[in-house]
Structure 1
Amino acid sequence: MLEYDPSAEIQALRTTFANIREVVDVDSLRAEIARLEAEASEPGLWDDTANAQRVTSALSHAQSALARVESVERRLDDLEVLVELANEMGDEDSVSEARKEITDLEKVIGDLEVKTLLDGEYDDRSAVVTIRSGAGGDDATDFAEMLMRMYLRWAERNKYPVKVLDTSYAEGAGIKSTTFEVDAPYAYGVLSVEAGTHRLARISPFGSADKRQTSFAAVEVIPVMEEAVEVEIPEGDLRVDVFRSSGPGGQSVNTTDSAVRLTHLPTGIVVSMQNEKSQIQNRAAAMRVLQTRLLLLQKEEEAAKKKELAGTITASWGDQMRSYFLYGQQLVKDLRTGHESGNPATVFDGDIDGFINAGIRWRKRKTDD
């Protein structure tokens, strides 16, 4: 008869989870949910649409956070029952099931533990991600599209809602740039460690046979900020261009000039939007992102922390934070944390939690030093 005793592993999981539960402060979270539910049930809530969206979004995020903690707590309790049954049954299949659940819980609790490290000013916000192709011609624009798919697949794996706000397609392969919003609690805190220059090295499918090509793409991540409405932009500081939305290869998406490009003349910041059907909606969405970027810029200047939130991302040699090798050794390696994967295909399919978690821990160590 098999005797399976994973008590040490279970105790370690319970200790880690107890620390997480204390940081999350479940009692305060439940009180916050009760307060938000009371606000959400007010008859006149939707008289103020902006406030109603804020309340319902905050309620959804708080409920999701509580559900994650409660789910892990139930699984830990069920795990001990599963181990007892495995020992009673005395067969390898039951033991294998218990071992698999321990492995799964180690990952879930590890991911939850990392999220408790997200205590930055904006970490709890949703995120707006912009990817721009850099040096490398068609390989770079193709790489930018590969990164876009990678992040969209990651969001899909985590069941995070995503809204693509703008995509500028290249004349050849891939995209020049794209901007999308990930609407989930702590999306900014999680994805902000992905900001920087990404480097791809591979045998180019666009050039001469067997020629290795190195290309670059820049990833920018900013938080979705309600305070953005406080940033006033004088009309004289803004250039507004309207144009027709287009898809791959220049194919027209609609026949009216509904896409909008805003250029902030003093800073040179450019924001384009073409996702919405009307020019007014696209201008409002573009203004929201522009105001957020300007607000961040103000805060960076005031605090002299420009590199913390945005920095200068050149998408070229010398400042890459991660390299993707698709020839020979087949490797993805983060140059800051040392975390690596020998399976680039799964990474480009959205399996990037290991890189993100390592990045969050690396950033926390730097902050504490």
Structure 2
Amino acid sequence: MLTIPRLSRLTLIPAISCDPMVSGWLSLRSKHTVDYSLVPKVKEEDLKEQFVRGSGPGGQSVNKTSNCVVLTHTPTGIVVRCHQSRSLDQNRRIARELLVTKLDNLQNGAKSVEAQLKSIRDAKSIKKDQKKRKIASLKEQWKNMNSD
């Protein structure tokens, strides 16, 4: 097994392969894994895409160009509007990512990727708070012990 410095929360998976070109380990697995297998696949024929003029700060160039993307998922009726950048291609990509996230939250609920990441963040936050409280109590005990 190889050890990798600064990757304390990752575990190594040994390679089981007949190929001599494969190194001693294939992949790294995180302590907190997110299941991406339930994320819905969006078909292009299910999408209705429109390009409209954006609004907001930016002046004359924003009012002239149609780089705001409005995506409609026809089976569910979910509408996503994206005008985060000046580039039409970036807005199309971001709009599709937002649509997939909304569909995932709608279909999977607590098992969606966003909910899984939130639960991991909450668990880390709880663990961090517990550690802070423990250190504070140990400091208090040490102060009480030394003051006597």
Task: Give the structure-1-normalised TM-score.
Answer: 0.20
- Name the structure where helix makes up a greater proportion of residues: 1
